[in-house]
Amino acid sequence: MVKTTTASALSAMLIVGLCAAVSLLPGGTDAKRHGPLLVEDEGARRNRPAECLFGKTLRELGSTWFADLGPPFGVMYCIKCECVAVHKKRRIVARVQCRNIKNECPKPTCDEPILLPGRCCKSCPGDAHSPDIVQDLPQAQPDEEERSKHFAALLTGRTSSILKRDDIRSTYSTINPQNIVATGRFVFHKKNLYYSFYISDKAPRPRAIQFVDNQGNILEEHPLVIPPEGPFSVYQNATGKICGVWRRVPRDYRRLLRDDMMNAVLLWGGKYQAELAIAGPIGKYPALPQELFSSLLEPAPGTNPEQMNGAGGTAIVSTKSGVTSSIYLTIVLNGIFSPDDIADVPLNIRLEMQNKDQVILEETQRVKKPAHDINIIEVSSPLSVNDLRLLTRGKLTVVVESKRKPEALRIQGTVQTRVACEVFQTLLTSHNPESRTDTTGLSWMYLNKEGSLVYNIQTHNLHMNYNPVITLIDDSAKRKAEIENLGFSSEHVSGVVDRMGPRVLEPLYSGDLAINVANDLNLNLVHGKYVSRPVADARDSTAPVLLKRIANSAAPPHSVGMAWVAVDNECNLHYEVTLAGVPSSYHPVQLFLEELPIEAPNAPISRTPLEDFSGNYLEGFVLAMPSIELAKLETSVIYLELRSKSKDEPILKAKLKSIKVPNHCTGNQYHDNDVQNNSVISTPHNDNNLPTGETKCYHSSRFYDEGDMWNVAEQCTMCSCFHRRVKCEPIKCPPLKCRKEDIVQKKGDCCPTCAVSRYPEDTAVALVSKPRGCHLGDHFHSAGATWHPYLPPNGYDTCIVCTCDAHSLEINCPRTQCPPLNCSDKVAYRPDKKACCKVCPQVIKSKPSGTGAPGEMGDQAGSSVGTLRNPQTILANGGCSYNANVYENGQEFHPVLATHGEQKCVKCSCKDGHIKCERKRCARSVCARQHLGVRKNAIPADECCQCPKTAGRHQQHRRRQQQQQNQKQTTAISVKS
């Protein structure tokens, strides 16, 4: 199902209608008879797939249809449209062309032609050859597409010969001094082509991938650059692969793919001039459906770079374990042949340990006639179980070398997990229809670059008091042999299986690996078998959501679902839903995006229908979703709900996690009118780490700009938007300066106010319906109201009380006047962080040793009498603990060191729980006088003064500078005279 709400599509339809009307006018027919009407803006479809968007429908390249203008016009059967390919600077783009076919109608051969419903031309009965019959291209047969589902490509300097043609050489740079190579795998699934690549470790990530036909025309181009922020490409970073998807491949291009007439190109460098490009033909290889491992073969260390320029290869590896274990290698390679190798060239193929201390397999194959770009070698050999285990753990290397020049012509590569970007997923549910268990869940896993199995498990209603255990089992065997015990479970479990072996990998790739959750009461509580799914969009960056059964639903308790949701670079929403345990009587099922009113629970629920479907699997998309709707997805305030259409009741539901949306899909198009949650729109920060102008906060069903303040009257809270965060706190009411009987609480106000005395001049005002009061920013305060100002991001300033004068309606906000202090401001402190005034420290007189009560500690430096408090109370009020002593907040003392005693020259002070110590220092003038006095024995030296020993030297230096300055002035005067 496809949806769109773009205005450009509607305008396109109106243009078609107007052009059709003009062409039907008298005198305008001949001029417009064969002239196509371009109804699509060229700039609007830039960098879009080769497909046409007409109205609310996507049209495949080569398809034809009649223009549907919607009500009140309906289908215009005399306006025939088609999606045609247009060549533009080596690129093939799709454009809509519509024309009036009324004057193309053939002259009927019968005497009484009729106009059939839904036709433009009158025709004779049985006449099928008319321009008003849409002759669409024949649909490809499903079995034909399944037969050519797997493809592969080797990209090296030699396979990039298509880029070296004279007509396209200026676009690409094929100079490859580092001899970068790559290998790719392609899987065709539901009209989508999923691609995966391994590239040389010495190469950075490519900028883009292009699909090019044999004539050099660019059919499709996708960017491959990962955004610096956000959760994009978690899978790609963990696996070292490059993943993507070409969605809705046109039928003409699918034919090119099946006929081996399409090439893949990886680009590095700038947008308009590639610094490096490597290419290779996409071809079918029989071994691909059984591939378990892959290897990227590169020139071996020590070989001549110039002689091996363009050399490389890829190995398709499959294994079989059992009584007779074996290995099968299909090696696609080039570049290891010398110029004199014309025919019957022997090559050595080895499978050896990475440290080269053991050779697992060695065989010689002969290439009858070496080709410049692609050569294929197939090898099979028995293998021990121990060697298979080494293979699964990435310990083996494939080596291919020329037998005549083994040291000079050699390529090699480590055997690792297969190139395909894929995750394995399953739903956890009871397979017994009679089971009443309410435990459900999901699990998904993938293989990382080290070959370890990364698994994630989420369960619902799993009762932990019955000791649940999760195990991986081989579901193909009758005994359901246990492969791996994942231990005890919780609601969310994740981990890594490091030491992978063939007993895990082979059932995983063959679709026989299953997960079982059991407990002490039921040996088979819930169960699920893993299936492979290609990675793109959501599977690359986020985790799936578990669709749980809605409480009080009549659906079976083991009903469960899994949903992947993502937004692509074209701002389209993609979703995939898998169900289990939903009876057929509940089908068809309706899928909704739902926004629940949080701030106003009684408000109506907003639902956006996505699609109706039957069965247990759905994959769809929504075209050009509005930016405000995408913002809701990013702020995680949307639910996904499944409802039974036949029974008109909800079945499953889940809250969507935050979905990363490309910045250009939201931009600055937010309005203060939607969404709910204490979340934000994530936008980049500038270099000063300050929020940009595009920063938005989201709360109470609307968006707010940076620095905005607002109150939620129903909850008596005040909120602000600061650094993309929403901060709310209860409204603080200031104390009232009026008698208790004069305090009134108005309906709708959060704070009480003093009653306003009525003056004669107020009588006329009281008759006016508009309330009297003061406006401060966007907030209104009634006459006589008092309040504390709200200053984000710190919140309410309780040291200021604002008043709206009841008569003049003027706002006055004086700060609290603090009483004078009896101590120095240096030692004064605030009792708490939001205290308005500082206070002097309380000096407590110490009691003689042994006279204090248990748990009390005396002040060792106090001089005045005070009340003793226990250490806990002192520390709770901002006191400090030091060297087994407790000091009051604001108290000063000299520290005592066990080895040196009391430090008279060091003074410490306790302030708000922190101790700050300083050594006594003397001013420079004091040091100078003291230095002279000591020399003349006039004054004794102060042992606490830290005077520099070079004080006298500094004075001599200053005196010398002054003498030089005076001498310069004298010289200047003599020169002038």
pLDDT in tens, 894-903: 887 655 667 7
**What pLDDT, in 10s, does the model give residues 669-718?**
333 333 333 333 333 333 333 333 345 676 665 677 777 788 776 678 88
Q: Is the pLDDT of residue 846 over 60?
A: no
Pairing mode, strands 453-460 and 440-447: antiparallel
Q: Is the pLDDT of residue 17 over 80?
A: no
* HSE, side-chain direction, 13 A CA sphere, residue 718: 21
DSSP per-residue letters across 168-228? TGGG-----TT---EEEEEEEETTEEEEEEEE-TTS---SEEEEEETT--EEEEEE-PPPS
Same domain, residue pair 92 and 171: no
Residues in the chain: 977
The better pLDDT of the pair 385, 26 is held by: 385
Asked whether residue 902 is domain-assigned, the answer is yes
- 382 pLDDT tier (thresholds 50, 70, 90): very high
* 404/920: higher pLDDT: 404
Q: What is the pLDDT of residue 14?
A: 45
The verdict on 374 and 438 lying in the same domain is no
Burial (CB count <10 Å: 0-12, 13-18, 19+), residue 100:
buried
269 with 297, same domain? no
- What is the model's pTM? 0.65
What is the reported pLDDT for 30? Answer: 38
Per-residue pLDDT, 189: 85
Indicate whether 525 belongs to any domain.
yes
Q: What is the pLDDT of residue 36?
A: 36
Pick from 406-415, 422-431, 880-889: least confident: 880-889
Dihedral pair phi/psi, residue 101, rounded to 5°: -105, 10
Q: What pLDDT score does 789 carry?
A: 83
**Structural domain span for residue 727:** 696-754+775-816
Number of domains in the chain: 6
Examine the pLDDT at 493 and tell me if it is beyond 80.
Answer: yes
Instruction: Locate all alpha helices (DSSP H) within 576-676, ordered by sequence.
Output: 627-634, 663-666
Q: What is the mean pLDDT of residues 947-963?
A: 56
Q: Which tokens is 167 given?
A: 């007509």
Let me know whether 790 and 731 are in one domain.
yes
* Contact (CB, 8 A) for 469 and 518: yes
The larger pLDDT score, comparing residue 637 to residue 24, is at: 637
Which residue intervals of 451-573 are DSSP H helices? 502-510, 538-541
pLDDT (mean) for 327-349: 90
Q: 889 lies in a domain?
A: yes
What's the token pair of residue 951?
């004080």
Q: How far apart are CA 609 and CA 281, in angstroms?
A: 42
Same-domain status, 245 and 292 = no
CB 260 within 8 A of CB 284: yes
The angle subtended at Cα 512 by Cα 510 and Cα 517, nearest 5°, is 145
| Res 652: pLDDT | 92
175 in the same domain as 301: no
Instruction: With respect to residue 922, please indicate whether it lies within any of the assigned structural domains.
Output: no
The reported pLDDT for the residue numbered 311 is 93
Q: What is the pLDDT of residues 450-466, one digit of tens each?
A: 889 999 999 888 876 67
Q: 346 and 299, same structural domain?
A: yes
Mean pLDDT (whole number) for 422-436? 83
Tally Cβ neighbours within 10 Å of residue 752. 15
Identify whether the C-beta of residue 697 lies closer than 8 Å to the C-beta of residue 710.
no
Question: Are residues 429 and 449 located together in one domain of the fold?
Answer: yes
Q: pLDDT band for position 296 (50/70/90)?
A: very high
First to last CA, the chain: 99
Average pLDDT, the chain: 76
Task: Report d(CA 317, CA 322) in Å as an integer.
Answer: 17
Tally of CA atoms within 13 A in the half-sphere of 394 that contains its CB: 16
Q: How far is CA 722 from the centre of its chain?
A: 22
State the sign of the Cα–Cα–Cα–Cα dihedral 578, 584, 586, 587: positive
Of 257, 284, 311, the position where a domain reaches its end is 284
Does residue 380 sit in the same domain as residue 446? no
E-assigned strands of 475-602? Answer: 482-488, 492-497, 513-518, 526-529, 531-534, 545-549, 560-567, 573-580, 589-595
Strand partners, 429: 527
Please check whether residue 713 lies inside any domain of the structure: yes
Instruction: Give the residue with greater pLDDT, 130 vs 848.
Output: 130
Is the pLDDT at 132 greater than 70? The verdict is: no
One domain, residues 433 and 571: yes
CA proximity to 705, closest of 627, 774, 780, 792: 792
What is the per-residue pLDDT for 140? 45
Residue 223 shares a structural domain with residue 342: no
Do 619 and 494 lie in one domain? The reply is: yes
With a cut of 60, say whether residue 174 has pLDDT above it: yes
